[in-house]
Amino acid sequence: MHDETGQESPPPPPTPPPPRFTRAQLAQAAQHRLASAEAAGARAARRRVSPWRRGLWLVECLVLLAVLEAFVLRPLRARRAGRQEGPALPVTPPAALVPLAGQARLLPGLKEVVPAFPAPLAGLAVGSETMRSAQLSFSATAKLPIEVENSLGMRFRLLPPGTAILGSPLTEVGRGDREVQHVFMAPEPFYLGTYEVTQAEWDRLMPTQPAHYKGARRPVEEVTWYDCQQFLTALCLREGVAAGTYRLPTEAEWEYACRAGTATAYCGGNDPSRLDAFANHGENGGGGTTAVGLKRPNALGLYDLHGNVWEWCQDRFEPYAGDERPEDAERASWRCLRGGNWYVPPLDCRSAGRNRLPPASQGNMLGFRVLRTIATAPEARAP
């Protein structure tokens, strides 16, 4: 072979002979390749996750997210809402009212609560001061105490006669389609329970305690509408008054009391984030009922009308005046429930919010509040 200059090029170097392995070395190499292949297969098998395991992991992730929401995020939002809601309930309540004492018109089985206080107006919506003034004025004129107590220790606040617009405007957030606005007139005064009926009050009259969330000052729940009627019958007998003197409020009476002069979604206004001051609901607790009276009252001095437990009303669920849709025949016997409860969001705790269930329904969200009539009771004077 010649290069470009025509000179003969040197021959290429000889190719080295292939390496020679002993049989032992070849066997060892084969074993190493087999072990490597088995390890690679194992790794691939580990990477291939079975469908049931993937499903289990998904369920575990959902459970962790639910726990995070219930015990971390929700309480955090509640604390933030509490910081934004404005001034807390004053440590010092308003000045005590002057007792009516010997001038009081006393009803059978009732005594005047002394001292009694007007409701604080901090955080309440427009119209609250007017209603509180009407309550105080009517008390002075009719000689009916603002707050009374019966022999069981149940307390009641005075509601003056008056008028109110019930239902909700079309613009109210969360509005139901059966909340047609209409005028309601309360021609007679009445007393309404300052608090929802507690388990301690229930135990003084009834043989068994149905409540799921135990506590003497917690509202009784897991009660049917019929259970409420049994309690009220026993209460009238205990107090020595005519049947019906103690009863459930009608739906209209309940909303009249809850609004307490306001025209907003809640007694504290239209902003649901401010409801924390007045109610135990699904976004500031959601872990069950709380003792009654821990939140702020409305202008009439009534507590927990928003939230805590749904409250049974006396009457059946019927269309309001102006609602031209036919009644639901299948639900004609169902009874009204008002006020929302500890589990539902603020929008379901509105003053105008309407609910209904069969009267035999039970649940740890179902309780009640008692109305004490005035007009049918004979007049008496304190000795």
Each of the 383 residues of the chain gets a pLDDT tens digit; together they read 545 555 555 666 666 555 555 666 555 655 666 556 555 555 555 555 566 666 666 656 654 555 455 444 554 444 444 433 334 444 467 899 999 999 999 899 999 999 999 999 999 999 999 999 999 999 999 999 999 999 999 999 999 999 999 999 999 999 999 999 999 999 999 999 999 999 999 999 999 999 999 999 999 999 999 999 999 999 999 999 999 999 999 999 999 999 999 999 999 999 999 999 999 999 997 789 999 999 999 999 999 999 999 999 999 999 998 898 888 888 999 999 999 999 999 999 999 999 999 999 999 999 999 999 997 444 444 34
Is 25 within a domain?
Answer: no
Is 70 within a domain?
Answer: yes
Q: What is the dihedral of CA 300, 176, 327, 161, to 10 degrees?
A: 20
- My answer on whether 313 and 168 are in the same domain is yes
Q: Could you list the residue range(s) of the whole structural domain that residue 194 is in?
A: 113-319+331-373
Q: What pLDDT does 62 receive?
A: 55
Q: What pLDDT does 7 receive?
A: 55
Q: Which of 91, 201, 116 is nearest to 152 (CA)?
A: 201
- My answer on whether 197 and 313 are in the same domain is yes
- My answer on whether 71 and 132 are in the same domain is no
Q: What pLDDT does 317 receive?
A: 95
Q: What is the dihedral of CA 373, 381, 187, 161, to 10 degrees?
A: -100
Answer yes or no: are the C-beta atoms of 313 and 338 closer than 8 Å: yes
Q: What pLDDT does 375 receive?
A: 73
Is 343 within a domain?
Answer: yes
- My answer on whether 204 and 72 are in the same domain is no
- My answer on whether 226 and 130 are in the same domain is yes
Query: Considering its fold, how many domains does the chain have in total?
Result: 2
